[in-house]
Amino acid sequence: MSETPLPGGFVTAVVRVGDTVRRAPGPRAAYVHELLRLFERHGWPGAPRFLGLDERGREILEYVDGHVAWEEAQPDGVTSDESLARVAELVRRFHDLTAGTPLAGKSEVACHNDLSPKNTVYRDGGAGLRPVAFIDWDLAAPGRRLHDVAHVCWQYAALGPGAEPGAAAGRLRMICDAYGLADRGEVVDGVLWWQDRCRRGIEADGAAGMPHAVRLRADGVVEQVRAARDWVAAHRADLARALR
């Protein structure tokens, strides 16, 4: 069958073959495959099904039909309050499914660790685009619930230059409310931690000559992340106050 390249991939080339997606396995492939199998056993539709490996050793994943928000400009439905709340609810669901399982290890849950609109599939069920699934689970690992929630706050609430602090604080509160996060004292610190980690990771991988990081660095992503981090640090008190 013919292969159609799918847009948006920054690290791994991804192609569609019929109703499947093919991609090279990541370094944590065995863990990711077990995680996707757990979701399948529970009937959770928020992630693609793992269907095995093809003759070239590529992963065969279910193609999740819908709109992937990988471009900067997006329809209103992607950024709506309803979509923001639904993202948090989806995260809470897969966290609860993994809590207490071997996939969580000694941690609270299994985390996605790269949640963003670019890794989210949206569909219109009649009321506008709403998130239905997360893709690209390559970085999944045991962790704290807070880790994914903080990443959601950064990426989906678009924290950074140009954001209105009051509105941004409200979106953080909406995420935590929809998730049902009780202890919110570390959320803003978690956002800053992710931004520092992301910037340092791109710089280190770029210095090592890794193609995806070289491209991201050339596109100015390091400067964008640093500016976002500076913005969050400048408004840290207001953001934290809204979560209390």
- Give pLDDT tens digits for 169-197: 999 999 999 999 999 999 999 999 999 99
Structure tokens at 155: 């990426």
Per-residue confidence at 110, pLDDT binned at 50, 70, 90? very high
Mean pLDDT computed over 136-156: 97
Distance between CA atoms of residues 17 and 231, nearest Å: 42
Give residue 234's identity as a one-letter amino acid code. A
Number of neighbouring beta carbons within 10 Å of residue 133: 21
- On whether the pTM is more than 0.75, the answer is yes
Q: Does one domain contain both 95 and 29?
A: no
Q: Does one domain contain both 82 and 53?
A: no
> Dihedral of the CA atoms 190, 191, 193, 194 (nearest 10)?
120
Distance between CA atoms of residues 15 and 219, nearest Å: 23
Q: Is the pLDDT of residue 8 over 90?
A: no
Q: Does one domain contain both 48 and 159?
A: no
Q: Does one domain contain both 239 and 190?
A: yes
Per-residue confidence at 10, pLDDT binned at 50, 70, 90? low
Q: Is the pLDDT of residue 199 over 60?
A: yes
Q: What is the mean pLDDT of the chain?
A: 94
Residue 103 domain boundaries: 67-243
Q: Does one domain contain both 29 and 126?
A: no
pLDDT at 212: 87
126: left (phi over 0), alpha (psi -120 to 50) or beta: left
∠ at Cα 136 (7, 192), nearest 5°?
A: 105
Q: Does one domain contain both 169 and 229?
A: yes
Number of structural domains the chain divides into: 2
For 41-82, the pLDDT digits (tens) are: 999 999 999 999 999 999 999 999 999 998 888 999 999 999
Q: Does one domain contain both 182 and 226?
A: yes
Structure tokens at 6: 């799918």
**CA end-to-end distance (rounded Å), the chain:** 54
Which ranges of the chain would DSSP assign to H, the alpha helix? 29-41, 76-79, 81-98, 145-156, 165-179, 187-207, 211-218, 221-234, 236-243
Distance between CA atoms of residues 140 and 117, nearest Å: 16
Q: Is the pLDDT of residue 222 over 70?
A: yes
Per-residue confidence at 11, pLDDT binned at 50, 70, 90? low
